[in-house]
Amino acid sequence: MSSIPQGRVNSPDLSNIERRSSNRYGYIANLCVSKSSRRQGVARNMLHFAIRLAKENGAEKVFVHVHTNNGPAQKLYQKVGFQVKTKFLL
């Protein structure tokens, strides 16, 4: 359980460690914060927690996926230390 401004919620598994290859990595997906809790550091704290958890479980790198039109999330990820890499899918 985790505390948030509106109360307590069950914490899902926030990270996944890919263990099939010699390069171990974590992947953060679907980070969401309720509108009433935004801009209070909640997402930043969840990111730091997920990154720490992934590294404690052997991840060498951590990745996050964000849509190109989601500027606020991109800014947050960059502030936390993620680098932007663009992929084009066909």
Residue numbers annotated as active site: 77
Q: How many CA atoms lie within 13 A of 43 on its CB side?
A: 22
In whole angstroms, what is the distance from residue 40 CA to residue 65 CA?
A: 22
In whole angstroms, what is the distance from residue 83 CA to residue 63 CA?
A: 9
